[in-house]
Amino acid sequence: MFSALSDSLDKTFRNLRGVGKISEKNITDALREIRLALLEADVEFGVAKEFIAKVKEKAMGVDVFKSIKPGEQIVKIFNDELTHLLGDDAEALNLNPPAHILLCGLNGAGKTTTAAKLALRLQKEGRRPLLIACDLYRPAAIDQLATLAKQINVPCFTPDPDEKNLVKVAKQALAWAKDQQGTALIFDTAGRQEIDEKLVAELKELHRFVSPAETLLVADSATGQQAVSVARHFDEAVGITGIILTKLDGDARGGAALSMRQVTGRPIKFIGEGEKLDQFGVFHPERMASRILGMGDVVSMVETAAENINEKDAIKAAERIQSGKFDFNDFLDQMNMLRKLGPLDGLLGMLPGFNKIKKQIPADAFDENKMKRMEAIVLSMTPRERTRPELIKGSRRRRIANGSGNTIIEVNRFLKQFTQMRKMMKSKGKMKNMMQQLGGMEGMEGMGDMNSLLGGKGGGKLPKLPF
């Protein structure tokens, strides 16, 4: 998400930084390019126009013209205004009892999955969430929510399949919730392909009965300008209190995220960046602004690592790597550790300047299937072969190839890559140095050098992965 916009902004600001003295023409030309980039990214026209006007007003100030580095000053102004556009600060949910949370949105936005993601997050915070299925139209919607609730061990109210009275279902759910001792009730509602009178009428009726403290619009960030219109209509209908943006891990242009806060006046409270239930987090405007400007989001990266990686295991892995004892068992552990962090491209996207080197990485480098095929090769080895990679010669390689469903060429290529990575991990890798710079997050170097996992050699242009 935002990659095209980030590239355009990076090019414009790079040109500004290269100018020793800023003139009104420099600023006007740069802002014209930025405005076009915003519009191409699906930012709503009025929002883009107003945003550029504010940046221009501050960029034309005396302090900028007299600055030793005027280009850097303008970048800071842009960053500050972008953060303000996105909402300045993260806004927490209103969970004062009774904490009723009503989710609404169109079909396909991901309401049901988002309901489970939100429940899991509240559960981790020490609360007792309850899920309530109020989508009485979409086939299997109730079963889907019940299945997700079971995965995260959260109680779920499922109405009679033949019941079509939404208020009656809500009444039954509230009576059920009293016996569950829940502290937050999450209502998953029905959607439509587009907003219609029937949908609005049902939502209004449910909203009046439930009286939710939070009415959150679940919006697909890939829908562009339509998402802005949808947000406006839902806000007028039931008065939304916040927005949850889904599918931020996609490759859409993402302008909706920049427009919805301004158009509705409602904060973006959460974002979903993957299909897994734990890929869900609080929306931080300043961090998102930094990511859009290619400055990375190191804070979120460290938080993700701290939440998902066991420090003792990471330290143990680091010690084995530094002692030169890294084997295929350790390799499997590293892959599992990476999986816990979510999609690899999303993780690396939090690094400052990653967008500038992303083009050097093969397009298929982040393919989950590729990692599964490497894992299959390792799992086809005997325990002795995993601890002593040097034993894997001719006949053993053929057996491993047959057992993993790969060709002998692919196995040979993988073993060669592993040997190179093993040698590199004996020295101090880039990841270790980076983690030390982030504040010495002890043990994280156990993840090894990301470059090696992508098929690199520790510097320069990255070659292709084994397959």
Residue 190 is labelled as binding a ligand: yes
Residue 189 is labelled as binding a ligand: yes
Residue 28 is labelled as binding a ligand: no
294 close to 357: Cβ distance less than 8 angstroms: no
Residue 387 is labelled as binding a ligand: no
Residue 191 is labelled as binding a ligand: yes
- For 305, counting Cβ atoms within 10 Å of its Cβ (0-12 exposed, 13-18 middle, 19+ buried), the class is buried
- The distance in angstroms from the start CA to the end CA of the chain is 26
Residue 379 to residue 190: CA distance in whole angstroms: 44
Residue 112 is labelled as binding a ligand: yes
Residue 170 is labelled as binding a ligand: no
Tokens describing residue 150: 């079971």
Tokens describing residue 189: 């509602």
Residue 109 is labelled as binding a ligand: yes
Q: In whole angstroms, how far apart are CA 93 and each of 104, 134, 153, 204?
A: 16, 21, 22, 21
Residue 15 is labelled as binding a ligand: no
Q: In whole angstroms, how far apart are CA 58 and each of 23, 36, 110, 289, 294?
A: 14, 19, 39, 18, 22
Residue 99 is labelled as binding a ligand: no
Give the chain's count of helices (H) and strands (E). Answer: 23, 8
Residue 461 to residue 162: CA distance in whole angstroms: 60
DSSP category for residue 360: G
Tokens describing residue 65: 């013209």
Q: What is the CA radius of gyration of the chain?
A: 25
Residue 182 is labelled as binding a ligand: no
Residue 110 is labelled as binding a ligand: yes
What contacts 24+ positions apart, CB below 8 Å, involve 287-292? 288/86, 288/257, 289/79, 289/82, 289/83, 289/86, 290/79, 291/2, 291/6, 291/349, 291/350, 292/2, 292/5, 292/6, 292/9, 292/82
Residue 107 is labelled as binding a ligand: yes
Residue 111 is labelled as binding a ligand: yes
Binding residues: 105-112, 188-192, 246-249
Binding residues for GTP: 105-112, 188-192, 246-249
